[in-house]
Amino acid sequence: MLTARRPLFLWFALALLAASVLHACVWFAARFFAAQGLLAAAEGARQMGLSLFWMVCAAALWLIQGPKNRLHAVGHVVGCAFLVCSLGSFMAFSNLTLSQNFELSFSNLLVFALVAVPMVASQVLLAVPSAVLFQMILLKTSPKAAAEAQGA
Q: What is the pLDDT of residue 34?
A: 81
Q: What is the pLDDT of residue 57?
A: 94
Stated pTM of the model: 0.85
Q: What is the pLDDT of residue 17?
A: 96
3-state secondary structure string across the chain: CEEECCCHHHHHHHHHHHHHHHHHHHHHHHHHHCCCHHHHHHHHHHHHHHHHHHHHHHHHHHHHCCCCCHHHHHHHHHHHHHHHHHHHHHHHHHHHHHCCCCCCCHHHHHHHHHHHHHHHHHHHHHHHHHHHHHHHHHEEECHHHHHHHHHC
Spans in the chain with pLDDT lower than 50 = none
